[in-house]
Structure 1
Amino acid sequence: MRKAAQVVFATLWWATFGLVSALMFVGATVCFVLTAPFDRRRVVQHLYSCFWAQIMFYLNPFWRLKIEGRGKLPWRGPAVLVANHASLGDILVLFGLYRPYKWVSKAAVFKSPFLGWNMRYNGYVPLVRGDKASIIEMSARCHAWLEMGAPILMFPEGTRSPDAEVKAFKDGAFRLAIEAGCPLYPIVHTGTADTLPKHGLLVKPVANCHVRVMDPVDPANFHGDVGAFRDHVRELIVAERARMLAQ
Structure 2
Amino acid sequence: MRKIFEFFYTLYFLIGAFVYIVIYGAIVLFVGFVIGLFNKEVSRKFVVKQIEIFGRMTFKLLGIKVHVFGKKPKIDENYIVVSNHQSALDIPLIIGFVEPVAFIAKKELGKVPGINWFLKYLRSVLIDRGNVRKTAMSLKEVIRKLNEGVHFVLFPEGTRSFDGKVLDFKNRSLEIAYKYKIKILPISIWGAHKVLRKKSLFIKRHPIYIKIHDLVDPNIFDSEKVLREYVKSVVSKGVEDFERGIWDEKGDN
TM class by smaller structure? 0.7 to 0.9
Shift of 1:180: 2.2
Provide the residue aligned with 1:230 in structure 2: 228
Cα separation, 2, equivalents of 1:104 and 1:89? 16
Query: C-alpha offsets along residues 17-53 of structure 1, whole Å, 9 cap, x if unaligned?
Result: 1111112321331354224854299444322211122
Q: CA 1:243 to 1:10, structure 2 compared with 1: closer, same or farther past 3 Å? A: same
Question: For residue 216 of structure 1, what is the aligned residue in structure 2?
Answer: 215
Q: How far off its partner does 1:191 sit? A: 0.8
How many angstroms apart in 2 are the aligned matches of 1:165 and 1:131?
A: 32
Tell me how far 1:85 sits from its aligned partner: 0.4
1:161–1:167 contact (8 Å) kept in structure 2 = yes
The answer as to whether partners of 1:84 and 1:187 remain within 8 angstroms in 2 is yes
Deviates more, 1:226-235 or 1:29-38: 29-38
Deviation of 1:109 (Å): 2.5
Per the alignment, do residues 104 and 64 of structure 1 end up closer, same or farther by CA in structure 2, a change over 3 Å counting? same
Aligned residue number for residue 155 of structure 1: 155
Displacement of 1:216 in angstroms is 1.0
Instruction: Please provide the CA RMSD for this pair.
Output: 2.3
1:10 matched to 2:10? The reply is: yes
Change in Cα spacing, 1:54 to 1:215, as seen in structure 2 (3 Å) is same
Secondary structure, in 3 states, of the residue corresponding to 2:62? coil
Say whether the 8 Å CA contact 2:101–2:122 is kept in structure 1. Answer: no
Secondary structure (helix, strand or coil) at the match of 2:119 reads helix
1:108 and 1:40, CA in 2 relative to 1: closer, same or farther beyond 3 A?
Answer: farther
Q: Do 1:83 and 1:155's aligned partners in 2 also have CA atoms closer than 8 Å?
A: yes
Normalised by the length of structure 2, the TM-score is 0.86
Amino acid aligned to 2:238 = E
- State the TM-score, normalized to the length of structure 1: 0.88
Matches within 5 A, 1:82-121: 82-97=82-97, 99-121=99-121
Q: By how many angstroms is 1:163 displaced? A: 2.6
Unaligned residue ranges in structure 1 (runs of 5+): none
What does residue 68 of structure 2 align with? 67
Shift of 1:132: 3.0
Q: Partner letter of residue 69 of structure 2? A: E
- Aligned-residue offset at 1:128: 4.0
Q: Which moved more, 1:44-53 or 1:213-222?
A: 44-53
Residues 89-145 of structure 1 show CA distances to partners (whole Å, capped at 9, x for unaligned) of 111211123534312223322322322332123221223446533442332122111
1:45 to 1:137, Cα distance in 2 relative to 1, 3 A: farther
Counterpart of 2:206 in structure 1 is 207
Q: What is the rounded CA distance, in whole Å, between the counterparts of 2:143 and 2:80 in structure 1?
A: 10
Kindly state the Cα deviation for residue 234 of structure 1 after the two structures are TM-superposed: 0.8
Kindly tell me: are residues 107 and 159 of structure 1, through their superposed partners in 2, closer, same or farther at Cα, counting changes over 3 Å? Answer: farther
**CA shift for structure 1 position 8:** 1.6
Gaps of 5+ in 2: 246-253
Aligned length: 243
| Shift, 1:186, TM fit | 0.6
SS class of match (1:6): helix
Q: Which amino acid aligns with 1:221?
A: I
SS in 2 for 1:102: coil
